Amino acid sequence: MAEMIQALDELKLLYSKVVGHPAPELKPESLIAFPPGVDPLRHAIEEVQFLRQLTDQVATAPTAVAWVPRADTYATQDGYRIRVEIPGVRRDQLKVLLTGSECVVRGERTPLEGPDIPRPILLEGCYGSFERRFVLPPGYSPERLTARYAEGVLEVRLPLQAAAAPKETVVDVT
């Protein structure tokens, strides 16, 4: 019973976190019986685990973006390279994150500002926040991931893990 109460309390917290206000109280007349063979406690615990995962996904969900930079992805002998074109973005405005099975590149490009900046007549550049998400390949080595920014291009390198040498095992024949 303590597990059920804990699961319900966690469910209320998750609801508040996602929706932004307290969970409504459940009225006994609104409840329905579980089908035969379904363990209500196990079902509630599984639902809370599912909602916890969903909440984590919402926390890392794409942010509102003003523009999407162009990107190229390459396969090399030792791994993968992602090149994102982001001219005019300052290095301190960039973030490269690993979240689950994705590499996320986020940042912001701000327009020129100041008293000596001329009045714009035509602006074709995009300004504001941006985000690009890339699915991580199987077998990449997260601890060897590198990111380099030069001349308006961010290059993220995803080296593959070194393949283990085949291990020879002697099997006794009986």
Mean pLDDT of the chain: 81
C-alpha 119/C-alpha 63 separation (Å) is: 30
Task: Tell me the average pLDDT across 47-56.
Answer: 74
Every domain of the chain with CATH number 2.60.40.790 lies at 71-114+126-159
Question: Which band of pLDDT confidence, cut at 50, 70 and 90, is reported for residue 125?
Answer: confident
For residue 61, count other CB atoms closer than 10 A to its CB.
Answer: 9
pLDDT in tens, 5-20: 776 777 778 777 766 7
C-alpha 68/C-alpha 173 separation (Å) is: 62
The amino acid sitting at 113 is E
C-alpha 129/C-alpha 103 separation (Å) is: 17
Name the range with the highest mean pLDDT among 37-41, 80-84, 100-104.
80-84
Q: Output the CA–CA distances (angstroms, integers) from residue 158 to 84, 155, 161, in the order listed.
A: 14, 10, 9
Q: Which CATH architecture has domain 71-114+126-159?
A: Sandwich (2.60)
Task: Tell me the average pLDDT across 99-108.
Answer: 87
**Structure tokens of 8?**
């319900």
